[in-house]
Structure 1
Amino acid sequence: MSATDFMGLAGRRILIAGVANKKSVGFQVGKRLVEAGARVCWSVRSEQRRDELAAKLPGDGPVVVCDVEDQGQIEALPGALRDAGVDQLHGLCHSIAFANYSEGPKPFHETGRDDFLQAINVSCFSLVQLSRTLKPLFAHDASVVTISISTTRMASENYGYMAPVKAALDSSVAFLAKSFSADTEVRFNAVKAGLLKTSSSAGIPGYLESYLFAEAAIPRKRGLATVEVADTAVFLLSPRSSGLNGQGLVVDAGMELNYFDQEIVSRATRPDGV
């Protein structure tokens, strides 16, 4: 690790799983990794997305297709990476999530079974499956990072059943860290992000109002930037975070400590400005 490579990422091969467009957390993570000298490869959901993104993704690493709802594609992923010249991974950034909000927000107890199980499969179990399948490619001290949410204890009606799904993801991080420790030093951590402007968040009913509230509740009165979440993920993917394992780092610009901000309280208790 040289003085010019403070993060120790130069030459390390990292797979980013889950990119929709330039607003995606995964895209920003990959961009920062390329800037740090890492060799980034990408996994996307479909051939159409690969065609759309191939020329736009940072760096010149290979782009492979893996739909995590297709067990066959998951099992084929190591071979696809090897065919693309990737025979070892020093890290995996899991930035995959999906929930069906097509019918709008519902009371949590009216969540549909199929919707819940699909969200669990795509947003949580995919981390377990990818980690298991890619284990033969992982370097002994590889780092796996997933993108979660700042809190799963706030019952936001519009976010609905996705919060329990993310709670399962957070728990899976701890269990993966333990199970992999039997014969490796592979680490698992989560970046627990606050509200962001991404294409996936745009599909959540009432998200704009929630985001504007977050801006008011954040002490600096400015929303969380996707690149701030990406920078934390890059740190966790780097050897500089070698002492962190099974953890969830909250990145919310201090929102969780400021719900009783004087301005917000005044708006609620004196809406007419009296």
Structure 2
Amino acid sequence: MTDFLQLAGRSVLVFGLANRKSVAYHVGKVLTEAGAKVLYSVRSPARAESVRKLVGDSPLFICDFEYPEQIEQLQKDVATELGDDKLQGLVHSVAFADYSAGPLPFEQTPRQAFLQAVDVSCYSLLAVSNAFRPILDPETGSVVTISISTTRMAAENYGYMAPVKAALDSSLCFLAKSFSTDSKVRFNAVCPGLLKTSASAGIPGYVDSYLFAEQATLRREAVQTPEVADTVAFLLSPRSSGINTQGLVIDAGMSVNYFDRDIVAAYQKGSE
């Protein structure tokens, strides 16, 4: 079979694996099927134990992004694992928000919750990019993060995470510009519509939003996590070498279908 994406033999470090529903899991699966060497990093020893069966013999590391020393140690451990080889890809599939205070008006967002979300969900991309710069392939390196389909939709239940994701999206161009001084490393985001993941289950009212989003897609079927993973694989591939600082939206056409006649009719019927 032809290696169209040219991923065979490439080494990619994937962050954010939690379980079989994770974007990171499906990314690792498609990369492995394409012949890439996949390395994983998870947040805690407990998480490492719970996902060990999912990764097989793949190298599995532990790193909590809230601790800079752990990021530094991770880079050393990965460098040791690779030896003289370079890392061709980083997949940043990490986000965290503390919704324990319940749904609040946006202006009442707890300071600590907002700053922690920025640290884990956005600043971590800068931190790992900087840490791994010495071992990222300067010619074909690719960094891909997972964002959301739009940060301009004020979904009340998603709350302050949309501005955090907006910061993540903006960071891509600054990282790419900074790295361009001495490399061709690319930075892009995959921006899916609503997904059925374990992480999303913690967002208040998410199920109702998910069901609405599914009806708003042109195909009446929600975006599937493997579809997101396939796009990540493409952005990691040399086949996407001309794509840099972009966010590829994977929403099955939802963004053009808010005024779908069936949705409007259902609303009118319900309001009678």
TM-score category, normalised to shorter length: over 0.9
Inter-partner Cα distance in structure 2 for 1:242 and 1:124: 24
Match of 1:242 in 2: 241
Task: For residue 225 of structure 1, report the CA deviation from its aligned partner.
Answer: 0.4
Match of 2:46 in 1: 48
Task: For residue 48 of structure 1, report the CA deviation from its aligned partner.
Answer: 1.2
- After superposition, residues 101-112 of structure 1 pair within 5 angstroms as 101-112=99-110
Inter-partner Cα distance in structure 1 for 2:254 and 2:66: 34
Inter-partner Cα distance in structure 2 for 1:221 and 1:194: 13
Inter-partner Cα distance in structure 2 for 1:80 and 1:48: 19
- The CA deviation string for residues 225-262 of structure 1, in whole angstroms up to 9 with x for no partner, is 00011110110011010000000000001100000000
Contact 2:79–2:135 at 8 Å: present in 1 too?
Answer: no
Q: Given the alignment of the two structures, is residue 64 of structure 1 paired with residue 76 of structure 2, yes or no?
A: no
Instruction: Point out where structure 1 has 5 or more consecutive residues left out of the alignment.
Output: none
Counterpart code for 1:94: H
Q: Which moved more, 1:263-272 or 1:64-73?
A: 263-272
Counterpart code for 1:71: P
Q: After TM superposition, which residue ranges in structure 1, 4 or more long, deviate above 6 angstroms?
A: none
Match of 2:130 in 1: 132
Counterpart code for 2:209: S
Match of 2:23 in 1: 25
- The CA deviation string for residues 17-76 of structure 1, in whole angstroms up to 9 with x for no partner, is 11111100011000000000000000100111111111212x532001110011110111
Inter-partner Cα distance in structure 1 for 2:115 and 2:270: 41
Task: For residue 219 of structure 1, report the CA deviation from its aligned partner.
Answer: 1.0
Match of 1:194 in 2: 193
Q: Given the alignment of the two structures, is residue 77 of structure 1 paired with residue 68 of structure 2, yes or no?
A: no
SS in 1 for 2:127: helix
Inter-partner Cα distance in structure 2 for 1:224 and 1:108: 27
- The CA deviation string for residues 159-215 of structure 1, in whole angstroms up to 9 with x for no partner, is 000000000000001111111000000000000110000000000000000000011
Task: For residue 103 of structure 1, report the CA deviation from its aligned partner.
Answer: 2.0
Instruction: Point out where structure 2 has 5 or more consecutive residues left out of the alignment.
Output: none
Inter-partner Cα distance in structure 1 for 2:214 and 2:61: 37
Match of 2:145 in 1: 146
Task: For residue 83 of structure 1, report the CA deviation from its aligned partner.
Answer: 3.2
SS in 2 for 1:270: helix
Match of 1:264 in 2: 263
SS in 2 for 1:84: helix
- After superposition, residues 182-221 of structure 1 pair within 5 angstroms as 182-221=181-220
Inter-partner Cα distance in structure 2 for 1:82 and 1:242: 24
Task: For residue 88 of structure 1, report the CA deviation from its aligned partner.
Answer: 1.8
TM-score, scaled relative to structure 1: 0.96
Task: For residue 100 of structure 1, report the CA deviation from its aligned partner.
Answer: 0.4
Counterpart code for 1:158: N
Counterpart code for 2:149: S
Inter-partner Cα distance in structure 1 for 2:129 and 2:142: 11
SS in 1 for 2:137: strand
Inter-partner Cα distance in structure 2 for 1:20 and 1:171: 26
Counterpart code for 2:67: D
Counterpart code for 1:44: V
SS in 2 for 1:234: helix
Given candidates 32, 35, 40, the residue that maps to 2:33 is 35
SS in 2 for 1:229: helix
